[in-house]
Amino acid sequence: MSAHRASQPEQVREFGSRLVVLCLLAAHVWRDEEINLIAALQARCLNLVLLVYQRRPRLASCPLWRNRTNHPAAPPAVLVLTESLAQIRADTLAAGGDEVVPLTIRAWAALSLGHLRTAFESGLASFGGLSEEHLDLLTQAELGKRYEVSFDVAERHFEWAEVTKVYPSENQPKRLLCGPEPVRRFIWKQGDNIYHDQVCLGMMRAFNEIWRALGTTVTWRDQSGRVHAEPIRCRIYDVYPLEGMPVLRTALIEHVLGTTIAPLWDRNMLGLSYRTVWNDYASYDDTSGNSYTLKLATSVGSFIACYVLAVADRHQDNMMLDAAGAFFNIDFQYWGGETTFPDTGDLPLPWGFVTMLTQSGMWPEFVELCWQALTALQAFAEPLLALLAEKMALNPEHQRKTLATVGGYLDPIAKEQFVERLRKGKYLALPKTVLHHLAQEYKKKKKMKEQQQS
């Protein structure tokens, strides 16, 4: 940026704060669908802060410069704006900057705080109609037994529940088969604050809306020439806390059928020597191009979402694959600055996943997709943080720390620094998983000893 402009930070800050408003006004003025908005304004997210104002990260949201300014429908204020943006673009590129994440003005207008709030709230639901007696019954339910209960979930009434599995984790969640027909499967979970899961999954829905609107997509052409495409996204499941509870400590969680934990995935992938290639093992039961793009798109979405939300406790038992090959994370008790000890770093990646990408030559593409996904979210840092602040209102003791932490991950970062974090990620998840398994084994033996003594 020129020395004259760099010496006037107040003017630049004022320009940045008004920029998005002007863009939205321009989108409002040009309602005629026949008018190509990109002809007058071509949106880009310029990493201005990284180049000039490191301490003003919100300026990274400045998105626009013009393609041409002589559009007959362009109002005078927009023409002045585009002249200034054209100069900023020239100065930025001359200084060695780069342009990332193409954004159209329509995308900015469509992705207001209200739209992101709608995406967030689309998955909010609870289950109810459960009496105190039936609550106690399910809390003490035993494996293999069916219980006559009454409750409602997502506009469906259930009359019985059977425990089909008890998980070995600390709070011992149960897998329930619920009827009448058609039966549904849920995870009955108690002890954890389910509000954390709701907020993280809701933010992931907002992330998905941004990636969808910007067209952030994985594409791949198979040997027959057919092109497969899948938008980058988080694979999301439903969480239903028990309504009427002052603290959300009891919930039904959607049981995703056909899931496999990442350690088993690693062993399957790496057990066939280093000849493993991505398109041969896109999933256990599907090696098609559709599965290839699905796994890559959901892996990128899941890793970047957990990175931005600072989700901790990412051992590989919390990383799952569904039957189609979609990758997703579970258990969001630690996030936004809350962590366990010892814990993983920013981007823990399953070791087998990284090895598979490296051996098949797909690692550079994965890195580039992660970078695109991250910079897309950084461009919408302001509405995302506003949404998070709004949804964290029920947890005021965590709100300030969470906003500061997530805001830090939404601040601009040098691409080389981000790539280095990805590279180090493969060394993080495996040690955490080993420690997690040792802790689980210790708790299991301790419980058995206590039972024997009693």
- What is the SS3 assignment for 369-420? HHHHHHHHHHHCHHHHHHHHHHHHHHCHHHHHHHHHHHHHHHCCCCHHHHHH
Q: Report the percent of the chain where pLDDT is more than 70.
A: 60
**Integer Cα distance of 83 and 213 in angstroms:** 27
DSSP three-state, residue 225: coil
Cβ(385)–Cβ(228) below 8 Å: no
**Integer Cα distance of 258 and 346 in angstroms:** 28
Q: Which tens digits make up the pLDDT trace of 370-416?
A: 999 999 898 888 889 989 999 988 777 778 889 999 999 999 888 99
Tokens of 346: 């920013």
The burial of 190, by beta-carbon neighbours within 10 Å (0-12 exposed, 13-18 middle, 19 or more buried), is given as middle
Q: What is the pLDDT of residue 440?
A: 62
Nearest 5°: phi and psi at 45? -95, 110
Q: Which tens digits make up the pLDDT trace of 20-44?
A: 444 444 444 333 332 333 333 333 3
Q: Which domains does the chain have, with CATH numbers?
A: 113-451 (1.10.1070.11)
pTM above 0.75, yes or no: no
Q: What is the pLDDT of residue 435?
A: 61
The burial of 148, by beta-carbon neighbours within 10 Å (0-12 exposed, 13-18 middle, 19 or more buried), is given as exposed
E strand or H helix at 164: strand 156-166
Mean pLDDT, rounded, of the chain: 70
Range with lowest mean pLDDT among 19-33, 191-205, 247-261: 19-33
**Integer Cα distance of 212 and 205 in angstroms:** 10
DSSP-derived secondary structure for 264-333: HHHHHHHTTGGG--GGG-SSSS--SHHHHHHHHHHHHHHHHHHHHTT-----GGGEEE-TT--EEE---S
Q: Which tens digits make up the pLDDT trace of 280-325?
A: 444 444 445 566 788 889 999 999 999 999 998 877 778 888 877 7
Amino acid symbol at 267: R
**Cis, bond preceding 364 (omega within 30 deg of 0):** no
Rg (Cα) of the chain, in Å, rounded? Answer: 24
DSSP three-state, residue 38: helix
DSSP three-state, residue 352: helix
- Compute the half-sphere exposure of residue 411: CA atoms within 13 Å on the CB side of its CA: 15
**Integer Cα distance of 387 and 310 in angstroms:** 16
**Integer Cα distance of 254 and 83 in angstroms:** 52
Q: What is the pLDDT of residue 89?
A: 47
Q: What is the pLDDT of residue 453?
A: 76
Neighbouring-strand partners of residue 327: 321
User: Which among 302, 301, 329, 300 is positioned nearest to 316, based on CA atoms?
Assistant: 329
